[in-house]
Amino acid sequence: MNLTELNGIATAMVVSGKGILAADESSGTIKKRFDAIGVESTEENRRDYREMLFRSQEAMSQCISGVILYDETIWQDAKDGTPLVKLIEQSGAIPGIKVDEGTQALPMCPGELVTVGLDKLAERLKKYYERGARFAKWRAVIDIGSGIPSMTAISVNAHALARYAALCQAAQIVPIVEPEVLMDGDHDIDRCYEVTQRVLNKTFQELRVQRVALEGMVLKPNMAISGKKCAKQASVEEVAEKTIRLLKACVPAAVPGIAFLSGGQSDEEATAHLNAMHKLGRLPWGLTFSYGRALQAAPQKAWSGKAENVAAGQTAFSHRARMNGLASKGEWQSSLEKKAA
Ligand code: 5MM
């Protein structure tokens, strides 16, 4: 393992002003997104849609540091025969790959999940590296509900995240470690804080046990935020203050960067929260976005599967990427959204 090189890649992924485009929707998830805009989820449509994003010159070159791809996409070529990975590289962004194989029910733990995909991961990482991937992503899913999460679910998911991260670094690939605490429930922000703290502490404990070099990874956490169904929604300032307090307590300064998931927040909320965190003063790590829905909902709607809407889709994507790029420097203002509308 060349840790200097891994650290350089991780640092570039979280550079101020840029963030990561999570375009790694699995087949089931992208079908749901396409259903919502009335587009059939064929291989060609998925390619055309992602090609539209990766050819958004302004967004890709100025605001996107890296792109997380799904297995199908990393092997696909653009309409003119250029590999999609090359389009990303040409824009100056770093190609990455989702390597988990989704979740399965966790035995003995009703309602809880464990992420799978460690079998043959070393071989798959070698092929992805040869294709150009320089970072990878693995997402663990922790739900909050009555009596959950169990310590069992937190432990097995943290163990798998650390095993994945060690395999990545041995393959000279930067691991994005994503332990996502879902915001689907009716819990309040303090319950989210407490569960996320347990999850992050266990994850870093496992990373240390399995000798993962913290300097060569990126953390992709949820924010400390109210559950979607909670009657009392925390303000932007409270989310920012509690999230930074939580991360400072749990994430060692050796980690080069943190890139948030959006988790079902609206586009503007996800931007406002990141921006507010940067208003709180200097931070020990790079802090940016790795959004899926909060970057793609607008371009998906604008595109709606029609070739004549590609420019509109790219404009919508560039706008969200620019807003989040500004938020990663604490320079976003809501008036910038209104001007664009
Ligand atoms: C883009 O969605 C990713 C893949 O999800 P599935 O494996 O369920 O299809 C997902 O992991 C994503 O990278 C993160 O959840 C962040 O995306 P959001 O939409 O939460 O910002």
Q: Which protein residue has the closest C-alpha to ligand 1 atom 3?
A: 25
- Find the domain containing 286 and state its range: 3-340
pLDDT tens-digit readout, 112-140: 999 999 999 999 999 999 999 999 999 99
**Total of domains in the chain:** 1
> Tokens representing 248?
């400072």
How confident is the model at residue 221, as a pLDDT?
Answer: 99
Q: In the chain, what is the straight-line distance between the N-terminal and C-terminal CA atoms, in Å?
A: 48
Helix, strand, or coil here: 23?
strand
How confident is the model at residue 341, as a pLDDT?
Answer: 59
Question: Residue 26: CB within 6 Å of ligand 1?
Answer: yes
**8 Å CB contact between 137 and 98:** yes
With cut-offs at 50, 70 and 90, classify the pLDDT of residue 340: low
Q: Please tell me which residue in 112, 178, 180, 206 is annotated as part of the active site.
A: 178
- The b-or-e profile of 119-156 (16+ CB within 10 A means b, else e) is eebeebbeebbeebbbbbbbbbbbbbeeebbbeebbeb
How confident is the model at residue 338, as a pLDDT?
Answer: 79
Choose which residue among 29, 218, 265, 273 to substitute to test ligand 1 binding: the one with the highest number of ligand atoms within 8 A of its C-beta.
Answer: 29
Q: Does the CA dihedral 287-225-298-27 come out positive or negative?
A: positive
CA–CA gap between residue 104 and residue 89 (Å, rounded): 34
> Tokens representing 189?
């922000």
Q: Is the pLDDT of residue 90 over 70?
A: yes
CA–CA gap between residue 325 and residue 62 (Å, rounded): 8
Percent of the chain exceeding pLDDT 90 equals 99
Q: Is the pLDDT of residue 265 over 80?
A: yes
CA–CA gap between residue 52 and residue 48 (Å, rounded): 6
CATH of the domain at 223: 3.20.20.70
Tell me whether residue 269 is one of the annotated catalytic residues: no
Strands 19-23 vs 286-291: parallel, antiparallel or unpaired: parallel
Question: pLDDT averaged over the chain?
Answer: 98
Tell me whether residue 331 is one of the annotated catalytic residues: no
Question: Could you give phi then psi for residue 282, rounded to 5 degrees?
Answer: -65, 145
Tell me the CA–centroid distance for residue 175 and ligand 1, in Å. 15
Tell me the CA–centroid distance for residue 180 and ligand 1, in Å. 10
pLDDT tens-digit readout, 189-227: 999 999 999 999 999 999 999 999 999 999 999 999 999
With cut-offs at 50, 70 and 90, classify the pLDDT of residue 80: very high
With cut-offs at 50, 70 and 90, classify the pLDDT of residue 180: very high
Strands 135-142 vs 218-219: parallel, antiparallel or unpaired: unpaired
